[in-house]
Structure formats: structure tokens, C-alpha cells
Amino acid sequence: MSALRAWLAALVLLAPAAAQNLDAPAQLGQEEARASLDKALAWLLEKQNPDGSWGTGAMDGLLELGFSIESFYSWQVASNSIACLAMLGAPESAARTAVLERGIHWLEETRVPQRGSDWDIDYVWGGLFGFAAAIELASDPHFRTPEWAPRLEALAKRYFAILEANQVPTGGWGYYDDPIFSRRPKWATSFSTATVLPALKRAEELGWVSDPKIRARATEFVSQCSLPNGAYAYDLSPIPWVGGDSINNVKGSLGRIQACNWALYSVGEKKVSVERLRAGLEAFFEHHRFLDVAFMDPVPHEAYYFNSGYFYLFAHYYAARVINLLPADERELWHARLRPHLVKVMRKDGASTDFLTSSYMKVAGTAFSALALEFGLPREIEKRPR
């Protein structure tokens, strides 16, 4: 009986990973991951603009008409922040270090994004990922130098200012406001708020954020979005919609589960245990087809359980971060299951996108993919040339 069970388990492991048209293996090893990572990093290296930025701050496709003009620039700032993190986690090379430093310089020099319109406050994404990236950069041993520390502190604070101004009364961060429009917006989502919880904690430790209530409110917000079914509500509601094909079903929450579990566990929220991290990852792989179906659908929330194409790489990035919160001896197996879903959607040139081919989407998607692969590889600890 146990032999039969083992055989069945092996069959499941060998079955192709769910995908729309790709026969991806159930697992991929580190070697294949490194090859794909190199391609992604090469793409980022090649596509960096001379001023250190990636992509463009202008709308470069018809499919996103309707957003405020400022939003495209804000998304560029956010995607550039993620790209810098991808370069930070990359295996060492002089060229990559130069790319990273040019990228940081651009984030320092470029103007701070501003509110785009009464309803469109997508500039918060610039604040969220700009701040998170600055804190991660500052936490890296290579940047703990007298030259870099004050620069990164200033970088973190310029993007934190956006967060400080836009934390909603219930504690989270969102990217739209509803009537009656107000200077401080009122609507927030669990996953966007989750992106900065660990960075807020680290910033407090560094003494760069003095008010701990900001993180406390944000943590409470994400925690309150936690649902009994293991999912996280899209936004905070007294009575969340969970029936039918709700987005708050686990199948519509596969990315949010990873981001929120990672954030709450990282800041020491006790309701998220290692078991809960595992359960979230299991749900992620069990229902992965719902992310596959939504992949590259240009209409947001059109797929089953209101999944959007852009959930895909975000979900995989945070899944990789969750894996690294598990005991060290079990991480490789999880990464091996995650990698095929990253590699199968990587273009021949190393770029990845899950929604549109706008430049900010490709930069963010490629960086998310690179980061997720990097988290599954042993970190090379060498000194970067300064």
C-alpha cells in the first residue's frame, strides 16, 4: 500500500505543471534555474537606460488608457525599485554592480511621484516598492558603508513620505480613492499593504521610522484581512464576500496568501505559523491552474475567481519569499516546484510579463521572476567592488 502511495506521489511529481500550453516539468533543479536567472538578469542589464532607469514613465500601449498620466511614471518607479532588488540578489559581477548602482542613483535623482488624480493614486506603488527596496538595499552588508548608508536612508525617507501621507484610516495602503475624494485616501488592499510590513519593521530598527503605530496599524489591517478559509480578503470589509466565485476564495487569493503570510510572519504576527505558511504554499500549487488561466489576459480580474494576469509573477515572487521562511531543509523541494512555473513563462530573451507588454510590466515581471529564482539559489557572498 505504501509502495502504491509512493508510486502515485512520484507520478504526481512527474506530471507536467499546469500551464496553458507548456509542458513544464513538475520540478526544476538549481542548474536550470541559474540558466534562466542569467537570461533574466542579462535582459535587465541590457535594457537599462543610460540614465540608470528601466522602461519609460509614459504610457506605451493603448490597453491602459484611462489611468492618470502620472500612474505610468509611478509604475516605472515601482518597477525600477524591484529591478534594483533583482540586481541586488544577483550573483556578483562588476557589470551587475554597476547596473545596480546606476539604478539606485536614478531612484535617488528622479522626482518623487505625485498623486495622479482624484481617484487614481497609483503613485502609492512607487512609495511601497521604493521604500521596500531602499530598506532591503540598506540591509545588505555591501551597502552598510559610510558612503551608502546616508544615501539609502534619504532614499527610504523620500518614498516613506508617500506612505505616511497615504496610509488609510484603517491602516493599509491602496491605490485608488473613492468619492468623497480626500487628501488621505480611504481604501486599501491586503496585498499592497503586505509589501511593506517587514520593511517598516526594519526601518524602525534602523531608526528611520520613528512612529511604530504606522506599522502596528498596517499589521492589524493585513491581519484583519485574514479569512478562516486560509485566504486573505482583497480589501478590508466588515463582512467579506466569500461565497460563489469570490476573489476571496483561496483560488482567487493565491498570490495574496503568499504576500500576506510572508509579511505577517516576518513581523512576528503569531497567527501565521510555519504550518500556515506551508498550507498557503500547498494551496498555491494545488490551485495554480487559476493563475495559469489568467496569465496574459489583458482584462483585469476577468478570469475565474477574479484572478488577473498580473497576479501571476507577484504571487511567485512572494511564494519564493515564503519558502525561505520555512526550515532550511525543506526549502529546496518547494523551490523545485516553484521554478517550472517561472521558467515556463520566461520569454526567449529572458523577459517575463504576465499581463501586458508595457515596459514597466516587463521590467517588474522580469525582476519578480529573477528574484523568485534567486531566492531558490544559494546566495553568493562576495564583496562587490565599491
Partner 1 sequence: MLSTLTSLRALPCSLLGAALLFGSGCAGLHSAPEAGDEKDEAEEEADDEQALPGKLEVAKLELELAKLEAEQELAAAEQTLAAAKLEAEKARLERQAFAELGRARELDDAKLDLDRSRGRAEDAAAELAELEAMYSEEEFAIKTKELVITRSRRELDHAKRGLDLAGRKLKETEVFELPAKEHELEQASLEADKGLLEAQQGLVKLKLEKKIAIAKAEQEYEELARKAEKAKAKKAKKGAAKEKA
Q: How many Cα atoms occupy the beta-carbon half-sphere of 164 within 13 Å?
A: 11
The one segment of 16-24, 73-81, 163-171, 224-232 that binds partner 1 by CB under 8 A: 16-24
Smallest separation, CB 243 to partner 1 (Å) = 26
3-class secondary-structure state, position 173: strand
Residue among 233 and 363 whose Cβ is closer to partner 1: 363
CB 110 within 8 A of CB 56: no
Q: What is the total count of residues that contact partner 1 (CB under 8 A)?
A: 21
Does 32 sit near partner 1 (CB under 8 A)? no
Smallest separation, CB 167 to partner 1 (Å) = 36
The one segment of 30-38, 296-304, 325-333, 363-371 that binds partner 1 by CB under 8 A: 296-304
The one segment of 19-27, 223-231, 248-256, 319-327 that binds partner 1 by CB under 8 A: 19-27
Does 20 sit near partner 1 (CB under 8 A)? yes
CB 287 within 8 A of CB 254: yes
Residue among 26 and 293 whose Cβ is closer to partner 1: 293
Residue 59-88 contact track with partner 1, rule CB under 8 A, x = bound: --xxx-------------------------
Residue among 159 and 355 whose Cβ is closer to partner 1: 355
The beta strand positions in 155-274, using DSSP E, are none
Does 213 sit near partner 1 (CB under 8 A)? no
CB 384 within 8 A of CB 99: no
Cα separation of 13 and 25, whole Å? 8
The alpha carbon of 85 is separated from its chain's Cα centroid by a whole number of angstroms, namely 11
Smallest separation, CB 153 to partner 1 (Å) = 40
Neighbours of 146 (CB within 10 A): 6
Does 11 sit near partner 1 (CB under 8 A)? no
Cα separation of 366 and 80, whole Å? 11
3-class secondary-structure state, position 152: helix
The interface with partner 1 within residues 220-239 (CB under 8 A) comprises none
Cα separation of 173 and 126, whole Å? 12
Cα-based angle 284, 365, 306 (whole degrees, multiple of 5): 50
The interface with partner 1 within residues 341-380 (CB under 8 A) comprises 344-345, 347-348, 356-357
Cα separation of 142 and 88, whole Å? 10
Cell of 35: 540558466
Smallest separation, CB 358 to partner 1 (Å) = 9
State which of residues 295, 305, 334, 368 lies at the interface with partner 1 (CB under 8 A): 295
CB 36 within 8 A of CB 343: yes
Smallest separation, CB 359 to partner 1 (Å) = 12
Residue among 186 and 347 whose Cβ is closer to partner 1: 347
CB 352 within 8 A of CB 346: yes
Q: Provide the β-strand partners of residue 176.
A: 120
Smallest separation, CB 29 to partner 1 (Å) = 21
What distances in angstroms separate CA 375 from CA 13, 37, 64, 352, one per listed residue? 22, 11, 32, 17
State which of residues 70, 136, 177, 297 lies at the interface with partner 1 (CB under 8 A): 297
Does 21 sit near partner 1 (CB under 8 A)? yes
Does 242 sit near partner 1 (CB under 8 A)? no
Residue among 309 and 376 whose Cβ is closer to partner 1: 309
46, burial (CB in 10 Å: exposed 0-12, middle 13-18, buried 19+): exposed
Residue among 259 and 294 whose Cβ is closer to partner 1: 294
Cell of 363: 521590467
Does 279 sit near partner 1 (CB under 8 A)? no
Smallest separation, CB 17 to partner 1 (Å) = 12
Smallest separation, CB 20 to partner 1 (Å) = 5
The letter for the amino acid at 51 is D
Give the interface with partner 1 as residue ranges (CB under 8 A). 19-22, 61-63, 293-299, 309, 344-345, 347-348, 356-357
